[in-house]
Each structure stands twice: as structure tokens, then as C-alpha cells.
């Protein structure tokens, strides 16, 4: 058996190349599985090439709202629609370890982050600002949020602007213990308040005594299928890679990808290009 840290940088879209994943798992490695997955996510949140933390997608109203979650067997913490913090995944860990709750959202999540010492931070980058400018060009000011969404979606479908809709994620099995973490800057286009699969236990993340699973792709579809719990519940019934292939097969052409570890296996699979990185040590 090996100690394993497996990371992904999201499922690539037709208009976007995948960021370099080289060395993320090795640089995030720690003998504690939770610290390992959080370290790996922080590396990706701090890299503006990923759609998480710095470089997150700007929403239709011009704001950036981010989601993140962490989990170990029997424990969970997530933040939903958090703004103006550098590392949402660390705030999610704080929710799990410092509160009696499992989720904090919006202004409550921001207030909690400030109490925990997370300073105000603007995750916008020149790249994300430029993508937003391309979206709003030619959009009428008196349009409703839904009308803007429809117009922005046409631009994406035509290939005129980028289509970031992924997450970053990590799973670990170290000394027989499991952990998982995910973070996202959301999808494009998206209305203020939109929530995908990332902060919902069982949807974009699940971790139990038999393994850990995280997903990436179109969050609405992943959430509706409760993808990560479906995969986790089948661990041991067939090879792990086969479970992933079968579950992703239900998505058809809708982008989805998964990484997972169990007590004896590790696997990853997607129906689009998915950047991954693995670091392993013999026990």
C-alpha cells in the first residue's frame, strides 16, 4: 500500500487550455492527510491560472463569490459564496475545526473569516477582468439578470469568450486515513448567489472510512446526481476505475471528472481533458 495525494485542476473546456499541474501534489505533501489536501488546494488557489481563489470568475453583477469545502471521515466544513478572501479552502477548514456548523454562507462566512484572521483580499486578476469586459460588451444595462445570463451563454457557446466552469480538488490516503478538499471560483456565466456542487457534501466532495472522492465539471449536473456519494457508496463492489467510468458515463457530453482513493486503490477519470498530479510514498 502507498500513501497518496492526488490532485486535479479541473476539466478543460473547448476554449481553455489546462494549467500546469507539475509538482503540486509533491509540494503540498504532509504526513497529515487533511493538511496535505488543503496545502495542495492553497497552491492552486494562489495560482491565477486556476479558477479558484486568485483568478476566480467574475459573476454577472461584477462580484467574485467563491465556494470551498474540506472533509475527513465524519467531519465536514464548507463556505458558500464567500468574497474578498485569499484562500477559501482555509476558511472552510476553520468552519470544520472551529465551529459547531458544517456550512457558512455569504456575509456570515465573510464575518467568520475576518474573526479567524483572514484579511480582505481581492481575487480579481487582469485576465478575469478582461474576460468580464468581453462578457458585458454590448449588453444592455436594463436587462434582467436572467436576460444577461442568456446573452452571455450565447457568447460562450459561440466560442467568443472563455468558458471556465471547473474546480480544483485533492484527495489523500495517508497512513490509512482519508481527507478531501475542493475549491472553485464558479462557472461562467453565473448569477450572484449561484451555488454549484463544491460546498455540498456528497455532491462535489465526499470522504468516509472507505475512501475520498472529489469532482469537477458542470456543478448543477454533478449536484443533481450527488456524484461523489454515489461513487463512494459503490467502493469495493468493482474496481475503482470502473466505478468512475460508469458514473461519468451517465453525464453524456456534459463535462464531468472525478478523482478518488480507497483503501487499496486510486483512480481518476473524466469525459474531457483533466489535469492531474500525484505524489505517493511507500508505507
Give the pLDDT of residue 46.
97
Q: How much of the chain exceeds pLDDT 70, in percent? A: 92
Q: Is residue 60 part of a domain?
A: yes
Q: Is residue 82 part of a domain?
A: no
CATH number at residue 206: 3.60.20.30
Main-chain phi, psi angles of 163, to 5 degrees: -130, 65
DSSP string, 44-82: HHTSTTSSSSTTPPPPTTS---EEEEEEETTEEEEEEEE
Q: Is residue 147 part of a domain?
A: no
Question: Which of 167, 216, 242, 276 is the catalytic position?
Answer: 167
CB 11 within 8 A of CB 221: no
Q: Is residue 149 part of a domain?
A: no
Q: Which residues of the chain have pLDDT under 70?
A: 13-17, 138, 140-141, 155-165
The residue range of the domain holding 189 is: 2-76+161-282
Give the pLDDT of residue 185.
95
Main-chain phi, psi angles of 33, to 5 degrees: -60, -40
**Tally of structural domains, the chain:** 1
Main-chain phi, psi angles of 112, to 5 degrees: -65, -40
Q: Is residue 17 part of a domain?
A: yes
- Annotated active-site residue 54? The verdict is no
SS3 2: strand
pTM over 0.95: no
Amino acid at each position: 500500500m502507498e500513501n497518496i495525494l492526488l490532485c486535479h485542476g479541473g476539466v478543460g473546456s473547448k476554449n481553455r487550455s489546462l494549467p500546469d499541474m507539475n509538482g503540486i501534489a509533491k509540494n503540498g505533501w504532509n504526513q497529515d492527510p487533511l493538511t496535505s489536501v488543503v496545502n495542495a488546494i492553497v497552491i492552486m488557489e494562489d495560482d491565477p491560472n486556476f479558477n479558484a481563489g486568485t483568478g476566480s470568475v467574475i459573476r454577472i453583477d461584477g462580484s467574485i463569490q467563491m465556494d470551498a469545502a474540506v472533509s475527513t471521515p465524519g467531519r465536514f466544513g464548507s463556505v458558500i459564496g464567500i468574497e474578498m478572501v485569499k484562500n477559501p479552502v482555509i476558511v472552510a477548514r476553520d468552519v470544520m475545526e472551529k465551529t459547531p456548523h458544517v456550512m457558512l454562507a455569504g456575509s456570515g462566512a465573510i464575518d467568520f473569516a475576518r474573526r479567524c484572521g483572514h484579511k480582505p483580499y481581492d481575487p480579481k486578476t487582469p485576465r478575469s477582468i478582461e474576460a468580464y469586459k468581453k462578457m458585458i460588451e454590448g449588453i444592455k444595462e436594463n436587462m434582467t439578470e436572467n436576460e444577461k445570463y442568456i446573452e452571455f451563454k450565447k457568447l460562450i457557446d459561440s466560442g467568443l469568450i472563455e468558458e471556465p466552469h471547473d474546480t480544483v480538488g485533492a484527495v489523500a490516503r495517508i497512513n490509512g486515513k482519508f481527507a478531501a478538499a475542493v475549491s472553485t471560483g464558479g462557472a461562467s456565466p453565473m448569477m450572484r448567489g449561484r451555488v454549484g456542487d463544491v460546498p455540498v457534501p456528497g455532491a462535489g466532495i465526499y470522504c468516509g472510512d472507505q475512501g475520498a472522492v472529489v469532482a469537477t465539471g458542470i456543478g448543477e449536473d454533478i449536484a443533481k446526481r450527488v456524484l461523489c456519494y454515489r461513487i463512494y457508496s459503490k467502493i469495493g463492489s468493482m474496481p475503482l476505475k470502473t466505478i468512475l467510468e460508469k458514473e461519468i458515463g451517465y453525464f453524456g457530453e456534459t463535462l464531468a471528472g472525478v478523482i478518488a482513493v480507497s483503501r487499496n486503490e486510486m483512480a481518476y477519470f473524466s469525459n474531457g481533458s483533466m489535469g492531474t498530479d500525484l505524489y505517493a510514498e511507500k508505507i
